[in-house]
Structure 1
């Protein structure tokens, strides 16, 4: 499933085309994706102008000129394709083939832009993605957002606040960090990378990063900085592009080539002077990659 950097990459790719555009028509080629599409979605969105695109956690948000917001979650295989001037190109050498089969084109935005007509196509072979429509002013009470923790970038994520949520937890650190109520948008790949950078074991009890006083231990301060750094670098590189996820223009993100531990089972640990080997274990049904020699 695409993680936060992938969704941010999609947002940045779509924004130059979609921001300011008029939705002449929203074409729905099926009544549902993972869940049923909102009632009368086409009628409620067609004719509206797009004010801008934003992101919260792993959700793409399209703000309309009437105060409503269209939410899109990509699921396992969802993607957006931009078609302009009668051409649809996907340049780049892909890590995995990307679907261009029109039978998986489920939602089509017919846009009027300053440069002419443009189609933005949502394609989703597995249909694990979904869309919703809500009033922006009610965003904090929306089921998708009301329990989310702070974003992993910016000043919202602080070691002190994280310490309050981790205090007393005997849960393994990896599992705690995947809880979206703790940190919004942080997923499996980047938790593995951040823990490696922090030299913290994914098996360590989460509460051990909090002092008896309730203040964060130095290791937690280091972890917060590592989370910020790995997410920022992934966004800058254009996302991991693992499996069938690509950027909106079809090009491949390259952060995947700099993973230190994720999917590196059996390879030497990159920590200078470590000499250990990356191992793979399974936690709560997900693969965890780490170096048991230097991550404690």
Structure 2
């Protein structure tokens, strides 16, 4: 009948319910390690879920720590080797390793720079292998040694020539000193500079003097140097060639002299021109040209000529 069928279904469901209750109770007991009543199941389940979350968080943290170590999972040790991990020891070892790597890189850089320097001497390509480069360096060294022997021989051979030249230079210096003190040189110096009256040679330094002090020619103004050099040119030319009438070519030699000295210098040139000297003066300065034109009027026709280019 229908009622008996329903009772059988109820009995089956009750049986399944008892089995399910037993199974749940067994599983909970396996987690908490003790028997638990049905009314404690909710509390126990909440605690288990909380423990599960805590374990997952702990696992994630451990994974992050492992990642920081920079160790591949394939390198993990399957068994404890009995050495406890120390972050301090790890950082110390890592620091020493980085220092060593830095030293290696520094030495490799020095070696590479040395290779470039050798290649500059041997004219080799920097990609050449070291063995071949060293062989080329030996050849270059031999070439340099041969050149050194030749230069040494030349120096030894030239020593006698140097002694002769030094002697001739000493004799020439004496002649120059005598020339600097001669009246034929000092006279144009006094006339042109209107100040300096003595000349001397101190090793390679030309000394110019007035009645109060001595001056190195390099310490003079540009204009004063030009005046002294003009006086020397006139004086030594007259002394060495022993001619009454010579010639001068001047390229704006008075451009750095002040206007008063310009007039003195040009008048001096006019004086020696009247003695038969031929003088050519090139200038871009209108003031200097005007001074020449002024003194040129005192010459006979055809004795003074001015040209503009």
TM-score by length of 1: 0.19
- Per residue, is there more strand in 1 or in 2? 1
**Bigger Cα Rg:** 2
